[in-house]
Amino acid sequence: MLLVAVGQSKYGHKPSLTQALPELTGSVKPAEKVEVARSYTDAEEAKFIAMAEKGAFIEDIAAALNKTVSSVRGKALSLTRKGQIAKIPAQKQSYAKESVDPVDYS
Q: What is the pLDDT along the chain (106 residues), one digit of tens a residue?
A: 444 455 555 656 666 666 666 666 667 778 888 887 788 999 999 999 999 999 999 999 999 999 999 999 999 999 999 999 999 999 988 776 777 777 777 6
Q: What's residue 11's pLDDT?
A: 56
What is the C-alpha separation between 15 and 28, in angstroms, rounded? 20
Q: What's residue 1's pLDDT?
A: 46
- Give yes or no for a contact between 61 and 42, defined as CB atoms under 8 angstroms apart: no
The H-or-E segment that residue 20 falls in is: helix 17-25
The model's pTM is 0.58
